Amino acid sequence: MDESIRFLAAALAVGIAGLGTGWAQSRIGSAGAGAVAEKPEVTGTILILVALPETIVILGFVVAAMILFL
């Protein structure tokens, strides 16, 4: 039982963080697509901006790793 709860907790840590990242990236991505349509020279900057929220899921991954392995 304890094992299964640990796995569930780890899955939630990554899963919910992934949802948060996805939501943030969808907002940035749609705004970024508009910006790129008007100014194609900002494509690189927008790519970086889209990658920014991934920290959330990375932190979720770190928490999951701590739950599973520590």
In the complex, the smallest distance separating the C-beta of residue 45 from other proteins, rounded to whole angstroms, is 7
Residues interacting with other proteins, by CB under 8 A? 44-45, 47-48, 51-52, 54-55, 58-59, 61-62, 65, 69-70
Hey, what's the torsion of the CAs at 65, 51, 28, 13, to 10 degrees? 0
In the complex, the smallest distance separating the C-beta of residue 48 from other proteins, rounded to whole angstroms, is 5
CA distances from 42 to 4, 23, 25, 35, 53 (A): 46, 22, 17, 7, 18
In the complex, the smallest distance separating the C-beta of residue 35 from other proteins, rounded to whole angstroms, is 15
